[in-house]
Amino acid sequence: MDKTRSQGKGKRTLVNLLITLAIGLVYFYFKLPALNLQDPAFYTFILLLSAVYCFLSIMTQGLFKAESGHELWKSIKTHCAIPVFICLLLAAVFVVGSLISSPIIRSHSYRNLLTVETGDFAAEVQEVSYNQIPMLDADSAKKLGDKKMGELADMVSQFEVADDYTQINYKGRPVRVTPLLYGDFFKWITNRSEGLPAYIVIDMVTQEANAVRLSEGMKYTTNEHFFRNVYRHLRFNYPTFIFDTVNFEIDDEGTPYWVCPRIVKKIGLFGGTDIDGAVLLNAVTGECKFYEEVPNWVDRVYTASLIMRQYDYHGMYQNGWVNSFIGQRDVTITTEGYNYIAKDDDVYMYTGITSVNMDGSNIGFILTNQRTKETRFYSCAGAQEIAAMASAEGIVQYTDYKSTFPLLLNISNQPTYFMALKDSGGLVKMYAMVNVEQYQLVASGTSVAECERNYVNLLAGSNLADESENASTAVTGFIEDIRTAVIDGNTHVFIRLDANDYYYVISVKDSDLAVVLSKGDKVEISPSSGKGELRNAYSVKRAK
C-alpha cells in the first residue's frame, strides 16, 4: 500500500511538473524573457514557474488538508523545497546584484561608460548649403508617407505605413525609411504568404517619397504574429540575448533589415546598460547573424536615449556620487531634446549640454556616432534648443507658427540651429536659422535659400562671417556654358561664367528665370558659400 501511495505521489509530481512546464512555455512564447541573470524579466519568469508548481502541489498533494502548522510546513518542505530554494537563491542574487550595481559605490564605472573627447566644430562638421539641408522632421515624414501610401491603389486597402521612419544615410543622402504594416488581422491572414510588398523611402532634402517594391515580400516584421514576429524570431534564435528596440534599415543594395542591438550590463549585474554588437535580421528571408562590429552601412545601433543617459552619468559623476547632489562641482547633463545630423556617411545624434541647475543656456553640445558611439563634445556657450525655438517663433509671432525641434548645422563656420515653422495644420510655411552662441541673431525666409541668404547677411553684419561668405555679394559675368539636369525631381541649371572655371548650380524652384537663359547672356548671380567645381547659388537675374 505504501508502494502504491508512493507511486501515486510520483505520478502527481510528474503531472505537476508537466503542467508547470506547459504554462512556462506559454508564458515564454508571449513574454519572451531572456534566459539571462542580467534580465529582470528572467526573475519574474522563474518566480512564476515556482509559484505555479507550488500551487499545483498544494492542490494535488493534499497540503491544504494539513491538520496543523507543523504538518503543513513538513509537507511544504517535502513537496516544494526545491522551487522555494530556487526563489530564495534568485532573490539573494537579485538583491546582491542590485547593490553591487549601484552608482553609490560604482560612480567611477558609470562615469566611464561613455568616452567623451573634445572636438572643433568648424573643422570637423562640414558646411552645408541650402540644397543639402535635411528639412524633414518625423511628423512631416509621416504625412508624406501616408500621402504616398494613398497613391498606391493596389496596396492602400491592405496595408498601412509604420510610424518608425528611421533616419539613415542611403547612397550619400539623408533619408527616412519605414516598412509597411498589415491593415488588420484579417488582412494579415490574406497577405502573410506573400509578405509585405514594399517599404517607403523619403528623401529628407527634396521631401520626395518613394515606395520601393520588393521582388519578394518582407515576411519578418514587428507586425507579424507567431514565429515570424521579429522579437519572437530573435528570442528563439538567441535565447540568452537581451535586445534593445529594433530598427528598420536598408543596406546599400536596398535589402530591408532589422538591426537588433544586443544589450549588456557592464556594471555589476544590472547596472551600466550598454550595447555589444547587433543581430542583423533579413526582413525577407529571416536569416539572422550576430556581429560584434556591425557593417558600415548600418547607421543606428545606439539609441538616442541610451547615449543621453550615459552622458548624464558621465557629467554627473565627474567628481563622485556625493558631489552629484551636494556641491555639484562641474556637474553637467543633457538637455531635454535631441536630433540627428549626417556626417561622414554616418548618422550622429546631437543634444545640448547644460549645467545641472538648468539655467536655460548650454555650455556646449555633443555629437555621437550612432553606430560606434564615438562621442565628441564641442564647447559653445549659447541658447538651449527650446530657447532657440522660442526665438524663431518670436520673429513670426503674428502668424502663430510653431517651430520644429532644431537641426544643428555649420553655416559659415557658425554652429546654427535650423528649424521649420509650421502652421496649425502641420504644414511648413517658413524656415528659421538661429545662431547658437548669440540666439538674438535670427533669420527667416519662405524658402531655405532665402533663409540662409538672410542668415549669412546677418552674420556678416555682426562680424561673425567673412565678407567673402556673405550671400549678398553677387557676381556678374557673361554665360560661357549653361546646362540643365533633373536632380531628385527638381530641375537645376548649371552656369559657368566667362571668368570662372567652375559652375554655379541654381534650382529652378528658387529662380525660374534660370531655365530661359542662354550662352552669352549677361547675368548677376547670388552665390552661396562653398568651393569646388560645383558651387550652389541662390538666384540669378539678368544684368545691365
Tell me which residue of 155, 164, 202, 199 sits closest to 180, measured CA to CA. 199
Structural domain containing residue 481: 475-542
What's 267-321 look like in SS3?
ECCCEEEEEEEEEEEECCCCCEEEECCCCCCCCCCCCHHHHHHHHHHHHHCCCCC
Same domain, 511 and 447: no
Domain count, the chain: 4
Given 472, 507, 532, the domain boundary residue is 472
Q: What is the Cα–Cα distance from 490 to 203, expressed in whole angstroms?
A: 13
Same domain, 24 and 118: no
Q: Is residue 300 part of a domain?
A: no
The predicted pLDDT at position 137 comes to 80
Q: Is residue 76 part of a domain?
A: yes
Q: Is residue 9 part of a domain?
A: yes
Q: Is residue 297 part of a domain?
A: no
Question: What is the per-residue DSSP string for 224-238?
Answer: --GGGBHHHHHHHH-
Given 57, 77, 100, the domain boundary residue is 100
Q: Which three cell numbers stand for residue 47?
A: 518566480
Q: Is residue 298 part of a domain?
A: no
Mean pLDDT of the chain: 85
The predicted pLDDT at position 470 comes to 46
Average pLDDT for residues 385-407, to the nearest whole number? 87
Q: Is residue 128 part of a domain?
A: yes
Same domain, 139 and 278: yes
- pLDDT at 130 > cutoff 70: no
Average pLDDT for residues 208-230, to the nearest whole number? 91
Same domain, 62 and 151: no
Q: Output the CA–CA distances (angstroms, integers) from residue 25 to 48, 136, 238, 404, 486, in the order listed.
A: 12, 45, 16, 46, 58
Q: Which three cell numbers stand for residue 469?
A: 561668405
Q: What is the Cα–Cα distance from 189 to 180, expressed in whole angstroms?
A: 15
Return the number of other C-beta atoms located less than 10 Å from residue 9's C-beta. Answer: 15
Same domain, 92 and 181: no
Q: Is residue 510 part of a domain?
A: yes
The predicted pLDDT at position 236 comes to 95
Q: Which of 121-130, 165-174, 410-419, 527-536 is predicted least confidently?
A: 527-536
Same domain, 204 and 141: yes
Q: What are the pLDDT digits (tens) for 285-326?
A: 999 999 999 999 999 999 999 999 999 999 999 888 888 888
Average pLDDT for residues 214-237, to the nearest whole number? 92
Same domain, 452 and 311: yes
**Distant-in-sequence, close-in-space partners of 443: CB < 8 Å, separation ≥ 6:** 432, 433, 451, 454, 455, 457, 458
Confidence of residue 472 (pLDDT cuts 50, 70, 90): very low
- pLDDT at 24 > cutoff 70: yes
**Distant-in-sequence, close-in-space partners of 211: CB < 8 Å, separation ≥ 6:** 148, 149, 152, 155, 198, 199, 200
Average pLDDT for residues 145-152, to the nearest whole number? 86
Confidence of residue 84 (pLDDT cuts 50, 70, 90): confident
Given 291, 316, 342, the domain boundary residue is 291
Return the number of other C-beta atoms located less than 10 Å from residue 461's C-beta. Answer: 12
The predicted pLDDT at position 1 comes to 46
Same domain, 351 and 410: yes
Same domain, 408 and 505: no
Q: What is the Cα–Cα distance from 149 to 160, expressed in whole angstroms?
A: 7
